[in-house]
Structures are given as structure tokens and as C-alpha cells.
Amino acid sequence: MTTTIGIAGNQIIQSVDVFNGNHVSYTPQGFVTAVQNAGGLPIVLPIGAEETAAAYISKIDKLLLAGGQDISPDFFGEEPHPKLEETNRNRDLFELALIKEAIKQHKPIFAVCRGMQLINVALGGTLYQDLSLYTDWTIKHGQQPTQPQFTTHSIQIEKDSTLYQVFGQTYRVNSYHHQAINTLASSLKITAKSADGIVEGIEAIDASQRLLGVQWHPELRYQVDSKEFKLFDYFVNQL
């Protein structure tokens, strides 16, 4: 039976030049194609009311959380820092509800960049609203102007982790973030870090709670690196 993957969607709400002012629900094509190539059936879940999350999760086998806007800091008990960038509170609320329901319904979650950070917040952790607030920041974690298929920095991976099975002890990744995990939620464990100590991978301590998060963007590199595609294949067919 084909595994149905629900991909939490994003919105473009100011796109007069491209979409004639229409609002657009979307997800990056890389997620869609990677899931399809792994044998999964991707379905984009448009941002909606929190109370619809249970119905959405009941119709899918697994949940994928993509990257995007900053997370509203009041969800982890902070006021907005001057370097906070765009947020979408409707998206935050909906995806937090999706995470809660996926855990409740025992559906696996694969989370990328913002998605990984949001899982940490959903489970009680906190974020650095900007990397400038992290005192040991020494490595470039923003990709631009380098193209996404090229790697930016290395990560060190814990042996007792899913990521180690896929990538080995060290790997190089692309990077598109200015926020990062600060306090880790108590039910999570760190599975990878950059050389300056930024969290690059997480899993649940309880193996039965099938959560996998990465800070980089495999959907932008899976066509040039077979290990990145292996990550999607693991998500669709094993997680």
C-alpha cells in the first residue's frame, strides 16, 4: 500500500506581480518530488483552523514539516527580538496542532529547518530568535549567495541515531536559517551539531515516538547527493 505523506503547506500572501494578487497555498517542489521518487503519495495540507488538524492527520500515514517563516516567540515565552523576521501566526497554530495530533495518533513526523525548530517548541523547548544571541556562533549558517545544491558547513553526527545510519559520523550540509534551537525539549535528543555547537538534528528519546528533524534542506540537494535522497526514502518507507 502506498504511504500517504501529508506536507504542511505555506502561504504566499503578497504576490501581486506573480499571482495577480491572489493568495497561494504551496510547498517547495523538492519535497513533493522526493516523496514521489521514494514511492510515497504527497498531499499538501493547506493552513487551516486548529480544530481541523485531527481530521487531516487521520487521513495521512506520516507528516512532513517544511521550512519557512520565523516562529512567533510568544509560543516559547519570549517577546519579539529586533532581529525577528516574518512570522505567520496562523501557520504556527495550525502546525502546532498537526504536531500534537500526529503524536496523539502515533503518526511519524519528518521535520526540516523551521519544522525541526517548531517540534522543539511544541514539546516545550525554546529558540534563539537570531543567531547573534548565541555566544559561540562562529560559522556561516546562511547559504546565500551560494546555490542550494552546494554544501556550506560540516556537521558531526551521533552514532546512536538514524542520521548516522544514513550519513555516517560527519557530513556537509547546506544552510538557510538565522534561528536555532536554544533549550532542548526534555523528550528530545540531539543527534547532530555544527562545529560551533548549533543543533542540526533531533530525534525523540522514546523510539516509539517516531520523530526526525534536520536543520538543513535535503529537498534542495537530494538530486545531487544520493544520501540526501536516502533520508527521504527512510522517511517514506521506514520511519
Which backbone phi and psi does 118 adopt, to 5 degrees?
Answer: -70, -35
Q: Rounded to whole angstroms, how far apart are CA atoms 15 and 217?
A: 24
- Cβ contact 102:203 at 8 Å: no
217 labelled catalytic? yes
Task: Sort strands 170-173 and 180-181 into parallel, antiparallel or unpaired.
Answer: unpaired
Which one from 141, 153, 177, 217 is the annotated catalytic residue? Answer: 217
113 labelled catalytic? yes
Which one from 101, 200, 203, 219 is the annotated catalytic residue? Answer: 219
H or E element at residue 200: strand 199-204
- Cβ contact 46:9 at 8 Å: yes
Question: C-alpha cell of 46?
Answer: 493547506
- Cβ contact 120:177 at 8 Å: no
The closest alpha carbon to 163, from 222, 230, 219, 225, belongs to 230
Q: Rounded to whole angstroms, how far apart are CA atoms 62 and 85?
A: 29
Q: Rounded to whole angstroms, how far apart are CA atoms 228 and 211?
A: 17
Question: C-alpha cell of 120?
Answer: 522543539
* Cα-to-chain-centroid distance, residue 182: 16
Which one from 101, 113, 141, 200 is the annotated catalytic residue? Answer: 113
- Cβ contact 166:230 at 8 Å: yes
Looking at the annotation, which residues are catalytic?
A: 113, 217, 219
